[in-house]
Chains A and B, each alone.
Chain A
Amino acid sequence: MGVEILLEPFKYDFMIRSFVTALLSGTMLSILGTFTINKNMGFMADAMAHATLPIIAVGVFFGFSISELGAPAAILIALFLGFIIKNTNIGEDTSIGIIFSSFFALGFILISVLDVSINLEDLLFGQILAVSGSDVAVISTLFVVVLSTLFIFFKQILFYSFDPIGAQVRDLNVTFLNYLFLIILSLSIVSSLQTVGIVLVLSMLLIPAAAAKLVSRTFTGSIKISAIFGATSSVAGLYLSYYFNLPSGPTMSMVASGIFILSFLTKKLMMNPKSISR
């Protein structure tokens, strides 16, 4: 009976595609999330997701699909954000806030002016059930590219993230590493827009990583646990949305939130077992 429940969704091709996509984006986002939360880059990540809107609007107007637009849009946004932050003197948060809101507003105006046929609700909250075979191919490729880049440059990115000045004195190419991380973060976010959408992509990026940080003592341990939490949230969320007819993106986010609450309580209980009786 239990196995049948697990296997039933796989009778449908679109569900197989959805599970593969959910697993890949959930794992990729949660691994990148471990760096993002420790570098305090949550707001930056949110801006990256929202800044895609005008690029998607123009791209769809010219007949491209959202997944085809993903990689170039992600790279453009990462380079643009990195450049603006480095070359303006108004503070990182302020620069990000300006780009975030301006791009998002521009996106809505373009969708209206160009009369682009985009389902905004799907774009904001995700519509994983609509992914096509080519979407799966794109996200699989980006999964391999993003994670292999992260692991090849892992020690350099970690050094730069922990001690940027020390890394510069050690002659690491810190400008390259900064842009490289922004690009792979942006790629993972933009490629996951169909899974959880512009608004909820942040939950899959940050929540599994934050939960993992609570229950792990080491950084490498938190990466492994975050990947497991991210994959579990997306797959379990998809099962729940299938059986209870719930919207897929929000359900995945809520499962991740549930895992975070469990991790928080586990940590509290482990630190102070006596608090159970209080």
Chain B
Amino acid sequence: MAGLIPLSHGSLEIKGLTPNKAKQFIGYVPQNNQINWNFPLSVKQVVEMGLTNKNTFNLFSNKKNSKIIQDSLSKVGLLEKIDENVNNLSGGQLQRVLLARTLTQGADILLLDEAFSAVDIGAEEDVMKIINNIKQDGKTILIATHDVNNIEEKFDEVLCLNRHCCAFGDPSEVLTDEVIEEMYGPHNAMLKEHSPGNHGAQDGS
């Protein structure tokens, strides 16, 4: 969806466009370990990256951008940290900074990759509150996660994947024991029998 990996087969459309052409609509929050934290950047510099595109050739920020950055940081409750070094922030605060970055670009669809992997439970609740607020603004939010706990409370819909679509729909309906076993069950046995259209079960279902 982010246009990072070419499609091996099938087709994918976002708002009627190919993923590469739909990048303007996508806000992406990467996994924590994909970011080079060596750079001693300020919160403002990181959030401003949401306003940076391939036509950005200016060295300094203008007032309009500063206002957008401040508004985005207000929405995630971190305005007072605007000049803080990102290396001094907690995991939850970093997620909120990266969320603010997607808000500056005005993206309609937010992709969050392992949004809660480096976040403690308290901070996870804070991030969820912000995500719910963003949802109220009419944005679509897709979160990749390995944690199936409390999914019913957190999300409207769930797509269960394990090399194929195991289930899709309302979490309270589709997250059955069978589906969870299909996702997290004995992988070796599943992969051995796996082929397109065959989910790994002996009977070919």
In the assembled complex, A169 has its CB within 8 A of some CB on chain B: yes
The 5 nearest A-B residue pairs measured at CB? A169-B28, A38-B38, A171-B23, A169-B2, A159-B49
- B30 neighbours in A (Cβ, 8 Å): 163, 165-166
Q: Shortest distance in angstroms between B15's beta carbon and chain A's nearest beta carbon? A: 15
In the assembled complex, A151 has its CB within 8 A of some CB on chain B: yes
In the assembled complex, B149 has its CB within 8 A of some CB on chain A: no
Query: Would A218 and B52 count as touching, CB distance under 8 A?
Result: no
Q: Complex: how many Å from CA A165 to CA B114?
A: 14
A/B interface sample: 29 pairs, CB < 8 A = A37-B38, A38-B36, A38-B38, A38-B39, A155-B48, A155-B58, A155-B59, A156-B52, A156-B54, A158-B39, A162-B35, A162-B49, A163-B36, A165-B30, A166-B30, A166-B101, A167-B49, A168-B3, A168-B4, A170-B28, A170-B49, A170-B52, A170-B53, A171-B23, A172-B53, A217-B40, A218-B41, A218-B42, A219-B40
- B101 neighbours in A (Cβ, 8 Å): 166
Residues of A within 8 A of B (CB): 37-40, 151-156, 158-159, 161-173, 213, 216-219, 222
- B48 neighbours in A (Cβ, 8 Å): 155
Q: Complex: how many Å from CA A152 to CA B54?
A: 11
Residues of B within 8 A of A (CB): 2-4, 23-24, 26, 28, 30, 34-36, 38-42, 45-46, 48-50, 52-54, 56-59, 85, 101, 105, 111
Q: Shortest distance in angstroms between A226's beta carbon and chain B's nearest beta carbon? A: 12
Chain A's interface: helix, strand, loop or mixed, by majority?
Answer: helix
Query: Would A222 and B49 count as touching, CB distance under 8 A?
Result: no
Closest residue on chain A to residue B2 by CB atoms = A169
- A40 neighbours in B (Cβ, 8 Å): 38
- A164 neighbours in B (Cβ, 8 Å): 34, 36
Q: Shortest distance in angstroms between B89's beta carbon and chain A's nearest beta carbon? A: 14
20 more CB-based (< 8 A) A-B contacts, given A156-B54, A219-B41: A38-B36, A38-B39, A39-B38, A152-B57, A152-B59, A153-B57, A155-B49, A156-B52, A158-B49, A162-B36, A163-B35, A163-B49, A164-B34, A165-B28, A166-B30, A169-B3, A216-B40, A218-B40, A218-B42, A219-B42
Q: Complex: how many Å from CA A38 to CA B30?
A: 19
With contacts A155-B58, A165-B4, A169-B3 taken as known, whether A39 is within 8 angstroms of B23 at the C-beta atoms is: no
Number of A-B pairs, beta carbon distance below 8 Å: 94
Query: Would B49 and A217 count as touching, CB distance under 8 A?
Result: no
Q: Complex: how many Å from CA A144 to CA B50?
A: 29
Q: Complex: how many Å from CA A173 to CA B30?
A: 18
Closest residue on chain A to residue B1 by CB atoms = A169
Q: Shortest distance in angstroms between A214's beta carbon and chain B's nearest beta carbon? A: 11
- B42 neighbours in A (Cβ, 8 Å): 218-219
Q: Which of B36, B40, B58, B85 contacts A39 (CB 8 A)?
A: B36
- A171 neighbours in B (Cβ, 8 Å): 3, 23-24, 53-54
With contacts A158-B39, A218-B42 taken as known, whether A172 is within 8 angstroms of B2 at the C-beta atoms is: no
Query: Would A162 and B53 count as touching, CB distance under 8 A?
Result: no
- A218 neighbours in B (Cβ, 8 Å): 40-42, 85
Q: Shortest distance in angstroms between B4's beta carbon and chain A's nearest beta carbon? A: 6
Query: Would A151 and B85 count as touching, CB distance under 8 A?
Result: no
- A162 neighbours in B (Cβ, 8 Å): 35-36, 39, 41, 46, 49
- A155 neighbours in B (Cβ, 8 Å): 48-49, 52, 56, 58-59
